[in-house]
Structures are given as structure tokens and as C-alpha cells.
Structure 1
Amino acid sequence: MPPTSLALRSQAIGRLLPTVVLAASFVASAVGAAMALPWLLVGAAAVGLATELVVHRWLKQTLARLGRLRVDATLRQVLRDLLLVVGVVRTAGAEHEGGWTALLLGLLAVYGLHFVSQGAAILVRRTRTLPFVTRNIDTSGLKLTAAPPALLLRRPGHRLLSFGLPATAGLIATVAADETAWALAGIGVSLVLSLAGIVRLAVHLLPRRRALNEERALAWLDEWLAAYGPTTGMYFSGGASSAYQANMWLEPLAALPGRPIIILRERFMVQKIAATDLPVLCLPKVAHLMRIEQSTLKSLVHPSNSGKTSQVLRMPGIKHAFINHGESDKLSSCNPYAKAYDEVWVAGPAARERYALADVGVEDKDIVEIGRPQLKGIDTVAPGGSVTTVLYAPTWEGWDGQPGNTSVIEAGENIVRRLLADPKVRLLYKPHPMTGSVDPRAGAANERIQELIRAANGGRAAAKDPKDKGAAELERLAAELDRLTAADYREGSDEMERMLVQGTPSGGRDKAVDEATRRWEDAYWASLPEDAHQIITGPRPALYSCFNQADVLISDVSSVVSDYLASGKPYAVANTAGVSETQFRTDFPTVRAATILTPDAAQVPELLAAARDASRDGFAQARGELKRYLLGPDEPSAQSRFARAVEALSAKALEREERQLAREGTSTLVPSQADRAAAARATVAEGEEERDFAADALAGSEPDSLERTGD
């Protein structure tokens, strides 16, 4: 059996083993209880409890899998304790009948308090859930507080296991020693822990511990929007794995003049956005989202389409531009949905022509060429060296099932074998992070490719005996970068607490992260043996850093090719679509200056020769022309074109507002931002007064006496 298959099978067995052990412990416990075999019941229950602790501490995937099977932690704990109670009854004498009754009642009280605690946790979570989520915004006016321990607030299975552990351990001891005192003592400890947890949660239900309610919180939001006065923003909605689509636009957005803002729709996405000093505002509900139209915000850019995009497009007072998260020749780069936006911003003339040919309803007058501001850091000079560095960066298989989306399945192994056969080649393999998520064949091929690379490294002297090239410095820089990019909140904090600690940043964090990233990448590449192949599957080093290390790129029809053209270096594209080379070049303009690889990768030697000898590079001039066609001119810079496009789009929104006011004949029908802010402040102040009065009444004291105590 191949090593990859053995590894996959071992991983599958490892994932299944804890579930098997838990199931076996319950079966053995049932047999021990039914047949009055204390040694079997005690051993099985102890093994099951130990496995449960291990699963809760380290095996989160196993917990999720058991949950999907409807065998959650509560059910498992109830069954474990029930079998132990049966064992106590079966193995103890009749003279202990009074003890059984106390034991059973005490155990029922433990579970009763568990469900009371769960109800209290739900109430606390509701009071701590605001209608919006923020980051990089001063939220002191919302009266936010730190969260109770996550064990109490959001982890009922962990809580039951932790607080019920003394009771379960006492039951095990009782079965083993035939003495109910052990069980009663354990139950007593569990009752005390449960009561303490309930009291701890109840404190957060007191009026003074609560944040503003929805109405007052929204009034505070109106006031903040009025004070900040956003001019433009980026709107984003998507799944957890799509955050990169927004993150790639953070730096260009932050470099804009004015006061940019990021608008999100999913609560979890607030923490997925990379390091930035820009204010982040998440508005999950449509009704609350509509409030941004009453602010000074005049334009929004959209790096992706989503189901929730249509909700914000209904705001006529804000102009919208689709900026995409990457351009390629795929159908997704000329989606008919784009016609819903006021403008579509593209990199260069190629995308303009792509929309014209697709005939999806996007008019040419609404297309604006801005280039790709993200590409400013890509080097245009090959690194050179004694080896030729080849970056193989295939894309994933995609959702549409189109043949040729990815080269990994049909051509990946052939490409890698031919590259590894050349002793003067260093291969950087960076597959798309979603490879294999749709087609298992792609995932299997990806594993085989990595095995080939690891095996090839085993035969290289530099790879077998690498020299220390500043490993300590690399480790130090990695720690610094981790510190800058790590979450600046404690583990176990909830949404409200993160809003509290992630208030207005000191400024410059995004620039510090960029500088630390650059230093780490420089140290990383310098630390590697010159001819050692590399498998890069994590977020570091980034794709553009790999571009700068490569002499040549091999990829598929994707935005990777368009972005790499900014370097001007040779590249190849795999043709696994089942069409001729002529048709392939006609269908996909981004490959016009590429070496086309057939599934057998026979053209790899030709590609390497062109990378090593400029006189054999027949596509050099074509690449320059294609670069301007795809990405636009070098001057003015893409960032300046982006800024001008934002300014022009916002101006259109202002012109529309002026026309609306002119038609109405008066501006008094539209409340000014100052009026809205004043009304918001009054609402917040009124709400705080009501809340303080309620707290005073609950405490049974006069308001001024409470103030004097500093409560």
C-alpha cells in the first residue's frame, strides 16, 4: 500500500478510536451493572470518563461528530451516571436503601441545577448580544463589561462534565468500596459548584451589569456615525473561508483619503478581518443595516457577491462599485450579477472586453479601469541564483465542475515529476487551500504530489543536512509577527468583551504587521537551503512573496496568472480542458503569452530553457503587452486610480442627493447629521437614566447614596 494511503488510513483510525473507546466503555458498563460485576463497571466507567476528558480537552472534531450523531455530552453523562447508580443498587445490600434514596435525589438535584445554569447562561448571552459588532471603535459609551467564564456561558457539555465530575467519581468509588458516603460526598461537591456557577451568571443579569438595550445601542450607533462621518467603505459578506477576498483590499482601502469604514454582515467575520486600523462595523440585521444610509457614507466597494449584497444595494443614497477579489478568464469574472452595481471596477482593458463579449448586461460606460493596487510589491526582476526556482500554484477544482479548472488531477503529478527530474530546479509547491474540498480526486492527487516532493528532498544533500541560516532570528521574527497578528483578547471572551478590548487602536498596527511580515519573509527565504524543494500550504509566506522568489510560474486559468504578469517573468498554464492549444489561447486571453502545458507536461524543458536563457524566451514582448492589457498602464499608479474612482463615485452620490433636494424644493425634509446626533445623544442619556433608576430601585437605596459608594 502506498505511504499516502497508509497515512490516510492511520489518520482515519486515529479519528475513530476515541468514539470506539467511548462506545465500548458504555457497553462494558451496562454489562457490569446488569451482572453485578463491580470490577467491570468501575473499570469501564473510569476508562470512559478519562476518554471523555481527553476528548473535551484535545479532540474537538470528535466532539462535533458525536454531536451530529445526537450523542452529546449531556446524554453521555446521564447514561454514565445512570449505569453507575444501577451498579450501586445491584451490588449494595438492602441495608443501604436509605442511602440509595439520598444518592438518587442528590444526583437529580445536580442535573436540575445544570439545566437551571443553562437557562441562566441563555439569558446572559441574550443580554450580552448587541444589534451590531464593532472593532477599532471606542465603545465606552455602550457600558460593556467582561464576560463570565466561557465554561459557564457557552460550553454546557464542558460545564456538566466539570461540575459533575466529583459526583461521577464518587459513584465510581461507591461501586468499588460499597460505601454510599463517597457518592454523597461527590454529589455534595457537584451541588456546590453548580450553585456557585449559577450565582456567577446571575450577577451579569443585574441592571448595572447590562449593556444598553437594542434601542439605546442603535441610538449610540447613530451618534458614532455622525461623529466619525464615514466617506466611503467596503461591504463584505461571506463564509469563514472567504475572508481573504476582503483582506486583500484592506491596504488599498486604508490608503484612501477621507474616513473609510468596513461594513460586515456576519458576526464571526469581525475577527476574520486581518490586522487593520480601519473601523469595522458588523450589522447582521437588514433593518439595522439601513441606518448607514442616513450617515455621511456615500460609496461602498464590494470585493465579492453574496446573497446579502442585494440588501445593501437597495440604498439609493449610496453608490456601489464591484471591485472583485481577482480577475481571470473564468465565467465568475463576468458574473451577470455585476449589473446590479452602479459601476464595475476592473484592472484593465481585458476585463472591459470580457464583459462586452459575455453580454451579461454590464454597460461599457459603467466600467472603470483602476488596475490592481495590491500588486505594487511584486518584483519585476528574476531572483537568479544557481538553481531555477519554479512556483507551481494550481487552483482548486471549483464548484461548477468545469473540466480544466485545476491541473492537479490530470497533470499535477506529471508536472512535478518533470520538474523534480531536473537537478537545477527548486520547486515551490503552493496549492489552493480549498483543493480537494469538492472533488476527492484533487485531494488525493495533492497528497501524492507532496509525497513526491518530500521523497525528492530526501535525495538532496542540502535538504538532508541543512545549515543553520539564522534559525534563531527566524524564530524571533515569527514570534513578533504572531504577537502582532494574534487576537488581542483573552481566550473564552465573548463578542461584547472583544468589542470592549478592541476599541480604537493606537494607530499604525497594520503598517507594523506589514513590516514584520516583510522581515519574516526575508528571514524565511534566507534560512532555506538553496536547492531544497518547499511545500507551502499555510498562509505564510504569502503568494506574492512566492512570486518574488520564482523565476517562472506554472498555474491554471485563474487570477494567479493575471497577478503574476505584473512581474513580467515567464509563466506556463496547464491545459487540461480537452481543447487544442489554439482554442485554449483563444478562449482564455490570460494565457496568450504563456507556455501551454499538456497533461503529460512535455513542455516543461522548453519552459525551463526560456527561464534560463532570455534569447530562448519567445514570449517576453508578448508578456509586456499582455500585462498592460490585463492590468492597465503603470502610470498613474493603481492606488491613485483607485482613489480617483472612489472620489468620482462618491461625487455621483452627492449629485443625486442634490437633485433629490432640488425636486423636493426644501432641505428641511431631510434631517441633518447634527440633528440625528443630538437625538441619538438624548436617547442614550434617557436610557442610561432609566437603567440607573432601575438599579437603584433593585438595591433599595437612594440614587445619590449609590453614587457616593462608587457603585
Structure 2
Amino acid sequence: MLNIKGWSAAVGANQSKIIDLLVGNAVALGAVVGAVLLLVADPIVLRMLGGLLAVAGVIGTGWLLRREVARHGELLTMHTGPRLVLLVAIAGGYLARRPDQAVWVWTATGIAMAAVLAEPTIKALLAKTQQIAVNLPGVQPVPAPPYAPNRLVAGSLATITAGSALAIVGLPGWCYLGVATLELAAALILIGYAGRATKMTRQALTALPKALKRHQPAFVVYYGGLHGARYQLGMWLPYLERLGRPFVVITREAATVPTITALTTAPVIVPRTTSELGDLSTLVVPSMKAAFYVQGSRANLHFQKFRKLTHIWLNHGDSDKQANFSPRHATYDKVLVCGQQGVERYAAHGVEIPPDRLLKVGRPQVERIEVRDEPLPADAPRTVLYAPTWRGGRPTTDYSSLGLGERIVAALLDRGVTVIFRPHPLSYADPADAGLIRRIQQLLAGDQRSTGRHHVWGEQAERDWEIADCLNNADGLITDVSSVASDNLASGKPFAMVAMRASGEDFRAEFPMARVAYLIEKDLSTLDSALSDLLGTDPLAEQRHAYRRHCLGDQLGPHAADEFLRVAGELVTGVSRPAAKGKPKQDEKISEIPLERVLFPTEPDVAELVSQETDRLAEQQRRTG
């Protein structure tokens, strides 16, 4: 007999979905049986059993919907069958208590069912609405819904719960009718919004091309991700704005628009993937010279096909993670790295990028990090920043020490250290990791109450302060394989790294940054000695200061952004991008892009480029042959 894990392997679904399927089927079956017993059974015992099954169905449906909310899923049309059956079951239970209220009860039931049955229509209408452009003169933004559509499903569950309670108490049926009418009114409001928003979406799509040409953007920042825009774009937009040229941000996910508009006043545009109006080809206007990328989504390839633009890879941090030496980076026209370490990192991992495409520009984000190379007095109190990274997108990129964080922080507290705790923002997307974060925060809160030490965590460490503020207020750092380690180099302060993927010299060989860090093994066997070096004599100080220039380039402090601004300024004007052999830019050979190194060689846009180049070469051979 297969268990949950066995079923998961057999059908190719994760265990969570298998659990949802089994519980959903049980809820549906229980709701049907409960409804039948409440409607047709005579003995009171059977009716009571039907009522219990209906209540269990309400609880089960709520549990399933809550799990979907935790996954950030869309609730519209989910579990509509069980909800409809439960409404019938409530009617049966209500009439068993108040047979004189049949008209009120069945009217209320019909109205509540109509609201549930309207969900597919609402979902279809909402699919035709989309934010097209914000902050772009000449294009009216599409307003947000009056409330989150998921709340309509929550309202349906509230109606079912309220109906159950009213039936048990035996209140008049018009009370139930009032609750059901509110649910239907909410559905009608959403239908009305969807109709207006659909019209505004079409109008925005029509106005978009002319508005873009009038705006004359010199470059575009392309964002293909769904999560992480706040820190990934947030670290680069201030410097791109300092170029003093008009630009736009194109994001593939409309859900990211509120986050991005909070970061910049530049126009934010969402391409329309289901219509020729507003697709990517209509968003590339003649004034655009370059496109910057800060996140490694495979969707970037959709925009890289526009070869008249210079495509520039920025990344959103500098570290020894795989994301910093992906073979896909070789498909960009220019790859901007901090220093020589970035160049060597690609070579060490077999990623071949011509030297003229690799540009060393320093790390602009360290301009606010204060440099302090002098050691603290031995008896001075210490503050340490603990900044673990997230789990990564797959097991091979999981460098996170968050699971050890409580023990690491406890060891710091035992030494009388003040702690700044700043977890990676994407760690909150995993419920287990979010729980670990809360436990560390509770540990710090408890220590603060008992000792009076002013630890920093939560809103202050993660939103009020930027990473530069955290580093400036700390005397040392504990982190993982992370860009925080690179940024800390600018400060000159000591740091430790947690070796989660290897051990000892193997870890240092794989991750060069660890050669100037105090190593904490994942079994914590070296935690005590690493903390003694970090908080004490700091024997790696000289090596760390020498490595700083190798990693971050020549400029620190207020001038850290100068080289980036110079190089990026040239790229967005097109000055540093002459056409190959005097030919127009669009005639460059696609073979100059090492497509064989792309991780997703079957991507349609890349395949199209290869096909075009093959056809061109065949035609050239035919003419000369």
C-alpha cells in the first residue's frame, strides 16, 4: 500500500498537493453525504450525523483555502463544488430547525450559490485586465480592484460559516438572506470593476506606443522575476537614475508594479503576452540604446532577442554563488563585474566571455559603507551582524545557515555581543524559514529584556536600515556564501562564513571569499574558535584588506559609484558599441553569442535567433557558390 510519499512519486506531484487532493475528496464526499442526510433523513441521529459532516466540510474547506493562501495562490473558483454542496447542506439543516422559514432560507441559498457560480466569470473578466503602464504621461493607469479577488472566496466561506451558525441557533431566515446578499453584492462590485478595467486596459494598450516614443527612453531596465524586486531592483535604480537619462522599467509580472513604483518615478510598463498590442516588440522604441538586467530569470531571453539594443548584465549582488557565474551571462553583450575576482570567477567555472565584454566597474552600493581598518580595543563592546542568505531556487544552491541561526545567535549572546539580525527577504516565502526567523527574533527580544542590550531586528534591520546601515553599525559579520560578505569587505571589518556546502579547505577552494573569512563548519565544531578570532585578535585582517581591491576594484567610499556611472553612461548613449566591421548593429552575427552555453537551449526566442543566423549563412553560401 502506497503512503503519501509513494503516491507523490507515482503521480509526479509534490506531497503537499497529494494531501490537498485527498483532503479535498474527503471534504467533497462528506459534504454530499451530510447534505443528503440533512435533507431527506428522518431520524434525529442521522440528521445530527449530517450536521457533523457539514461542519467538518466547512472546517476542511477552510483548511484547504488557507493552505493555498500560504502558497500565494489564486482562490477564485477553488473548491467550488464542496462550497455549493455545503450551501445546500446548510439549507437542509436550517429547515430542520426552522421549517417555517423555507422561502427565506432557499432564497438566501440561491443568492449565495449565485455568488459562487459567478466566480468563473469574474476570473475570466479579470484575466483581460492588466496594469499596462504607471508613471508614463499619456497612458492612464488601470486602477487596482476595490478589494483582493481572493477575499470573495473568503466571503463565500464566511457566508457558509455564518449560515451554519444561524441554522444551529435557529434565527429567522431573513438573517441568513442578509448575509448572502452581502456576498452577492461583493461579487457584483467585482464584476463591475472588471468591466471598467477591461475597457481601460484596451485604451492604455492603444495609447502606449505613442506615449513611449514621446518619452524618448534611452534605456530600459528589464525585470523578469516575481519575487525580490524590492532589493534586486532597489540596489540599482538609484544609480541608473543618476545617469540623468530618461528610462523605463519593463516588468513581466503585473504583481510587481506596486513594489517597483515605490522605488522609482520612472515609467513602469507591463508587456501584454496575450495580445499584439503591448507585446515586447511594441515596447522597443528607436531612442532605446541599452537594456539592463538585475535578475537571472529565463524570461530575460525574450527581451534579449532585440539585437539593436546593448544587453547589459548587472546581477543583484557579488558573491561566489552559482548565480554569479551562470553560463547564461555569456549571452549578454556586456557583463559588469566589481573587480578582478569577478573576471576570474567566470574563468574558473568554464564560462567563456571575451575580455571586451567583461567590464570592471566596482561596487557602487558600497559608497555608503564606512571604512574602518583599525582594530577595536580588546575590551570594547562588540556588535555583530548576522545575515544568513536564503535557501536558493534548488538544493544545489542552498547556502543558507538559517537552520543553525538560533544556535549561532545564542553563542553570540553568551559572549555579551549585541546582535543585528537581517535575514534574506526571500526566506519569508518559506513557512519553515519564516518560523526560524521568528524564533531568532524572540531569542533576541528575550535577551534584550533580561540584559538591556539593544539588539536590532525586524522592521528596523530589514526595512528602515539598508545593508550599509547594518554594516556601519556592526563591528563584525557572520554570513553565508552571499553578496553581504563582498559588501563587508569595503568596511575592512572582520567576518565569518558558515560552510554549508563543503568543509574546510574544500570550502575555501570552491568559494574564494572564504579565504579571508573565519570559517564556521555546519556542525558548529569551529563556532567557538571562529568567534574568538572574529571578536578578538582578527588574524586575517591583513589578508582581508589586500583582497578587498581584488574583489571590489579601486574605489571605495563616496567614489565607489564613479566608474559604474562612467561606463553605464557610455553604454546608454551607444558610444562604446561600434558595429562589427562597420555593419549596422542588427547585422551582427548571432554566432558571437555563445548560445551553446545557455542553460535553456530550447527557449523559443533563442531557437529563433539560431534559425535566422542559419538561414542567413545558407543564403550567403548559395550566392557565393
Does residue 581 of structure 2 align to residue 593 of structure 1?
Answer: no
Rounded to whole Å, the distance in 1 between the matches of 2:510 and 2:72 is: 48
Does residue 357 of structure 2 align to residue 366 of structure 1?
Answer: yes
- Once the two structures are superposed, residues 121-177 of structure 1 have per-residue CA deviations (whole angstroms, 9 ceiling, x without a partner) of 3565356x14x52232345x54x67567438x665434546778998787667xx48
Task: Please give the residue correspondences for 1:350-429 in structure 2 after superposition, counting only pairs within 5 Å.
Answer: 350-381=341-372, 386-402=380-396, 405-408=399-402, 415-416=408-409, 418-422=411-415, 424-429=416-421
Rounded to whole Å, the distance in 1 between the matches of 2:481 and 2:145 is: 50
SS of the equivalent of 2:233 reads helix
Letter in 2 for 1:335: S
Equivalence for 2:287: 296
Equivalence for 1:78: 84
SS of the equivalent of 1:326 reads coil
Letter in 1 for 2:270: C
Given that 1:397 and 1:436 are in contact with CA atoms closer than 8 Å, whether structure 2 keeps it comes out as: no
SS of the equivalent of 1:114 reads helix
SS of the equivalent of 1:272 reads helix
Rounded to whole Å, the distance in 2 between the matches of 1:393 and 1:644 is: 32
Task: Compute the displacement of 1:306 (Å).
Answer: 1.2
Match of 2:450 among 457, 464, 479: 464
Match of 1:316 among 287, 307, 321: 307
Equivalence for 1:565: 489
Using structure 2 for the length normalisation, give the TM-score: 0.71
Match of 1:260 among 225, 228, 247: 247
Closer, same or farther in 2 for the Cα pair 1:41/1:295, shift >3 Å?
farther
Task: Please give the residue correspondences for 1:273-352 in structure 2 after superposition, counting only pairs within 5 Å.
Answer: 273=260, 274-285=262-273, 288-352=279-343
Equivalence for 1:624: 545
Rounded to whole Å, the distance in 2 between the matches of 1:167 and 1:35 is: 22
Given that 1:342 and 1:366 are in contact with CA atoms closer than 8 Å, whether structure 2 keeps it comes out as: yes
Match of 1:545 among 469, 487, 501: 469
Match of 1:639 among 548, 561, 581: 561
- Once the two structures are superposed, residues 530-565 of structure 1 have per-residue CA deviations (whole angstroms, 9 ceiling, x without a partner) of 5x5868885454433221121111222322211110
Given that 1:120 and 1:198 are in contact with CA atoms closer than 8 Å, whether structure 2 keeps it comes out as: no
Does residue 215 of structure 2 align to residue 228 of structure 1?
Answer: yes
Task: Compute the displacement of 1:387 (Å).
Answer: 1.5
Task: Compute the displacement of 1:647 (Å).
Answer: 2.5
Rounded to whole Å, the distance in 2 between the matches of 1:390 and 1:445 is: 19
Task: Compute the displacement of 1:307 (Å).
Answer: 1.8
Task: Compute the displacement of 1:347 (Å).
Answer: 0.5
Equivalence for 2:132: 133
Rounded to whole Å, the distance in 2 between the matches of 1:112 and 1:447 is: 41
Closer, same or farther in 2 for the Cα pair 1:25/1:464, shift >3 Å?
farther
Letter in 1 for 2:449: A
- Once the two structures are superposed, residues 391-428 of structure 1 have per-residue CA deviations (whole angstroms, 9 ceiling, x without a partner) of 2323344345349834455x656644543332x42233
Give unmatched runs, 5+ long, in structure 1.
Answer: 1-17, 467-528, 665-711
Given that 1:267 and 1:282 are in contact with CA atoms closer than 8 Å, whether structure 2 keeps it comes out as: yes
Equivalence for 1:121: 122
Using structure 1 for the length normalisation, give the TM-score: 0.64
Equivalence for 2:621: none
Rounded to whole Å, the distance in 1 between the matches of 2:86 and 2:364 is: 60
Task: Compute the displacement of 1:222 (Å).
Answer: 1.1
Match of 2:147 among 132, 135, 150: 150
Equivalence for 1:649: 571
Rounded to whole Å, the distance in 2 between the matches of 1:167 and 1:643 is: 63
Given that 2:146 and 2:190 are in contact with CA atoms closer than 8 Å, whether structure 1 keeps it comes out as: no
- Once the two structures are superposed, residues 62-93 of structure 1 have per-residue CA deviations (whole angstroms, 9 ceiling, x without a partner) of 77799999995644443333234445676788
SS of the equivalent of 1:647 reads helix
Letter in 2 for 1:631: L
SS of the equivalent of 1:247 reads coil
Does residue 432 of structure 2 align to residue 432 of structure 1?
Answer: no
**Relative contact order (alpha carbons < 8 A, sep ≥ 6): 1 or 2 greater?**
1
Equivalence for 2:5: none
Letter in 1 for 2:273: K
Rounded to whole Å, the distance in 2 between the matches of 1:66 and 1:644 is: 41
Task: Compute the displacement of 1:254 (Å).
Answer: 1.9
Task: Please give the residue correspondences for 1:180-259 in structure 2 after superposition, counting only pairs within 5 Å.
Answer: 182-183=172-173, 185=174, 211-212=199-200, 214=202, 217-241=204-228, 243-259=230-246
Given that 1:356 and 1:364 are in contact with CA atoms closer than 8 Å, whether structure 2 keeps it comes out as: no
Given that 1:28 and 1:40 are in contact with CA atoms closer than 8 Å, whether structure 2 keeps it comes out as: no
Letter in 2 for 1:347: C
Given that 1:328 and 1:557 are in contact with CA atoms closer than 8 Å, whether structure 2 keeps it comes out as: yes
Choose 1 or 2 for highest CA Rg. 1
Rounded to whole Å, the distance in 2 between the matches of 1:42 and 1:357 is: 68
Given that 1:46 and 1:172 are in contact with CA atoms closer than 8 Å, whether structure 2 keeps it comes out as: no
Closer, same or farther in 2 for the Cα pair 1:600/1:419, shift >3 Å?
farther
Rounded to whole Å, the distance in 2 between the matches of 1:149 and 1:69 is: 17
* Cα RMSD for the two superposed structures: 5.0
Given that 2:94 and 2:105 are in contact with CA atoms closer than 8 Å, whether structure 1 keeps it comes out as: no
- Once the two structures are superposed, residues 625-646 of structure 1 have per-residue CA deviations (whole angstroms, 9 ceiling, x without a partner) of 2111001011793422222222
Closer, same or farther in 2 for the Cα pair 1:116/1:416, shift >3 Å?
closer
Task: Compute the displacement of 1:258 (Å).
Answer: 0.9
Task: Compute the displacement of 1:323 (Å).
Answer: 0.7
Given that 2:399 and 2:480 are in contact with CA atoms closer than 8 Å, whether structure 1 keeps it comes out as: yes
